[in-house]
Chain A
Amino acid sequence: MNSLIKAPFIKQGSTYFLRFTIFLFGIFALAICVFGLPHLYKGGSEDFPAASHAFLVIVVLLYATAVPFFFALGQTLKLLRFIDQNTAFSALSIRALRNIKYSAITMAVLYLACVPFLFPIAEIDDAPGLILIGAVLACSPLVIAVFAAVLQRLLQNAIDIKSENDLTV
Chain B
Amino acid sequence: MKKGSTVFLQVVTVLVGIGALALMLWEPHLEGRNVHATLFQIYFNDPFLAYAYIASIAFFVALYQTFKLFGYVAQDKIFSLNSVIALRKIKYCAISLVAFILGAEAYFFIAMRGKDDITGGVMMGLIMIFISVVVANVAAVFERILQSAVDIKSRNELHV
Contacts and interface: CB of A to CB of B under 8 A. Distances in A.
A150 B9 contact: yes
A7 B134 contact: no
B73 A150 contact: yes
Contact of A165 (B6, B133, B156): B156
A137 to B, nearest CB: 14
Contacts of A168: 156, 159-160
A13 to B, nearest CB: 3
Given A18-B141, A157-B79, A169 B159 contact: yes
B81 to A, nearest CB: 7
A10 interface: yes
A18 B144 CA distance: 14
A31 interface: no
B69 to A, nearest CB: 10
Contacts, number: 84
Contacts of A90: none
B116 to A, nearest CB: 29
Contacts of A126: none
B152 A18 contact: no
Contact of B159 (A17, A86, A89, A165): A165
A80 B144 CA distance: 12
A98 B97 CA distance: 33
A143 B12 contact: yes
Interface in B65-116: 70, 73, 78-79, 81, 88, 91-92, 95
